[in-house]
Structure 1
Amino acid sequence: MGGVGTIAAYGLEFGGKAEVTAVVRSDYDHLTQKGFDIESCDYGSVKAFKPSHVEKSIEAAVKNHGPFEFAIFSMKNIPDVQPVEPLIDECYRKGTAIVLLQNGLGIEKPVLKEFPEAIVISGVSMISSTLYHGAVSHVGPDSVAFGVCDNGKLPLDEQTAVCKRFIDIYSTGKNVVKFDENVKYTRWRKLIYNATINSTCALTDADIGRLELFGGIDSIVRPAMKEIRAIAKADGVDLPESIMEDMIRSDDGEWYAPSMLVDIRKGNYCEYKVIVGNALDVAKEKGVDAPVLTVLYNLLHVVQMRTMEQKEKFTLPAKRPLPKDNFKIEYK
């Protein structure tokens, strides 16, 4: 239950069609004792929100409240640190639909590889919502597209019916929810924002308003957006040129800090692999040059490694090793 997950949980409870069990770790005490305060452009001022049930682990959630019709994954998508598949394995039962309300491109592929007969729903949310110290600031309307990641094992009509049932449950009349006919297009479209604005804000420690005033939109973001459009086109997705300006203007009026910048400021890991790395994998496969995105990716990789060291995922020797030493980092 970060910025996105909290609004999702609140919306599900608000609609009166769902009973939500949230698995929360670091914020468990705050959520259970005080609840989260929400200032939302969709729902107004909400004090001390708690979902129906809160547990510290998936195991406890399943034992005390399962099995579940839908398992929604809204945590950061960081496969280099915490792959989502082992977490799914803890709660997946036949009949449980997996909802990936997460950033990134091609994120359904490893899930369907591990759970080939599961119904997997892609959720792409265009929302400006952040969580700081138990308070959620939700300044951009919750607009989300849910679509089927066809597993090729079950009839598509059956998978679609489950997805549309979830859409009915998630729709509150205050959010904008639609069925996604083309999951691939939608995920490439969001990458126009996430791989460029999100990445650059994270690396410069500047919100999108300051990034524009300081010149970063024209010098970095627009060239990177052109690369995303070129890669997407090579992958069969033709994004209109107008989408670049739409994304640049999407947070107008707010000194908005995108999710990766919030992660960096909190000292957390960021989603650079699924957002930028997966796009570059497609670029390599299709023979598309992407020099700006490559630099952004490599800089974010260094930042991620710095965060790993700070979180003691590995320990470096007191004396700096040199290339001739063939030193290899050993992860804990």
Structure 2
Amino acid sequence: MTTKPKVLLVGMGGVGTIVAYGIQYTGKADVTAVVRSDYDTLTTQGFDLESVDYGNVKGFRPTNVYKSVDDAVSKHGPFDYVVFSMKNTPDIQPIEPLIEKCYHEGIGIVLMQNGYGIHKSVLKKFPTAYVISGVSMISSTLYGRVIKHVGQDAVKVGVCDNGKLDYAKQEQKCKDFIDLYSNDKNDIVYDEDVNYSRWRKLVYNATVNSTAALTNVDIGRLELFGGIDSIVRPAMKEILAIAKSDGVDLPESIIDFMIRSDDGEWYPPSMLIDIRKGNYTEYQVIVGNALDVAKQNNVPAPTLTVLYNLLHVIQWRTMEAKGRFVLPEKRPLPEDNFHIEFK
């Protein structure tokens, strides 16, 4: 009897749940999910899906659910793939220590996360790893135990070439994952230029997502209240200029395409949901990494810089609220190098 491939999935939010369901829907692989805050809910009740792709699904659970990567590996490892669909916050929780717990030479590391250049730190730590980039344009959000999935699960999947292994082997590892995930409901395709797709998605995420989070309004209100033309469009033009400096020539038409992509929905993007929940945001990989490229290539990006700096302040506000540090009674000053004791 042939053993099914085994997929470890870290992060069961709006994206991760649809990924887990999509893979199990094919029946080609078993999914073991690592979940922390929603562990009790997922194991006792499961998640309800209100999905544009799969309809209404009650009480979905992955094949196996654990609280930690260590537990998952000890019970069901080794895995053929590990999919990261958790929030991408390297300033708070880098994924490399989690990869280390499940890593072996043949495992495929699938980065189904937001941001640009997110594979670089992984390949620095694991230079001969099979790293796969998944660019998802899904509109899916977790509310309590309900997944509201309003945009088709469409993912472009490509190779992050490590420059060490034969490219054909890396490509096959990528295409084997696509075969596990692709079904008659979703649209999972191989992408020879996944770098292009990541910049393309950043046109939305670094601008609409960031501005909605900072203003605390959904996409519809952001447009009605004047934020699209005054903030989002200028920021989008900056992303196009930065991408061009990185060798990716995005058409101007992508601006209106992204602005109109949520028409008909009062859609709150992921960063806004994080702000409303008091969670950390992915500002570093979404905006910060793009600005690193802008700085390196001398591309002006004043709007994105302001968005980034404001989101940086909010991230530290969230760190304080979550007890990552306690400020002293006496305010630290420049001569103290603004010293803060982290827990």
1:314 aligns with 325
Q: Offset at 1:171? A: 0.5
Q: 2:71 aligns with which of 52, 56, 60?
A: 60
TM-score normalised by L of structure 1: 0.99
Counterpart-to-counterpart distance in 2, 1:79 and 1:261: 19
1:206 aligns with 217
- Which ranges in structure 1 are unaligned for 5 or more consecutive residues? none
Q: Offset at 1:331? A: 1.7
Residue 91 of structure 2 is aligned to residue 76 of structure 1: no
Q: Give 3-state SS (helix, strand or coil) of 1:93's partner.
A: coil
Counterpart-to-counterpart distance in 2, 1:131 and 1:319: 40
Q: 1:274 aligns with which of 285, 292, 305?
A: 285
Q: 2:55 aligns with which of 17, 32, 44?
A: 44
Q: Give 3-state SS (helix, strand or coil) of 1:238's partner.
A: coil
Q: Offset at 1:324? A: 4.5
Residue pair 2:332, 2:339 contacting (<8 A) in 1 also: no
Residue pair 2:107, 2:129 contacting (<8 A) in 1 also: yes
Query: How many residues were matched structurally?
Result: 332
Q: Give 3-state SS (helix, strand or coil) of 1:20's partner.
A: strand
Identity %: 70
Counterpart-to-counterpart distance in 1, 2:249 and 2:282: 24
1:100 aligns with 111
Counterpart-to-counterpart distance in 2, 1:32 and 1:39: 19
**Which amino acid in 2 is paired with 1:46?**
V
Q: Give 3-state SS (helix, strand or coil) of 2:105's partner.
A: coil
2:296 aligns with 285
Residue 30 of structure 2 is aligned to residue 25 of structure 1: no
Q: Offset at 1:266? A: 0.8
Where do residues 149-188 of structure 1 align in structure 2 (5 Å cutoff)? Answer: 149-188=160-199
Q: Offset at 1:325? A: 4.4
Residue 204 of structure 2 is aligned to residue 227 of structure 1: no
Q: What is the CA deviation profile of residues 171-222 of structure 1, one whole-angstrom value per residue up to 9, with x for unaligned ones?
A: 0110011101101111100000000000000101000011000000000000
Counterpart-to-counterpart distance in 2, 1:2 and 1:108: 21
Q: 1:193 aligns with which of 188, 204, 211?
A: 204
Residue 312 of structure 2 is aligned to residue 301 of structure 1: yes
Counterpart-to-counterpart distance in 2, 1:31 and 1:220: 39
Q: Give 3-state SS (helix, strand or coil) of 2:261's partner.
A: coil
Runs ≥4 residues deviating over 6 A: none
Counterpart-to-counterpart distance in 2, 1:147 and 1:62: 26
Counterpart-to-counterpart distance in 2, 1:176 and 1:110: 28
2:253 aligns with 242
Counterpart-to-counterpart distance in 2, 1:167 and 1:327: 48
TM-score normalised by L of structure 2: 0.96
- Which ranges in structure 2 are unaligned for 5 or more consecutive residues? 1-11
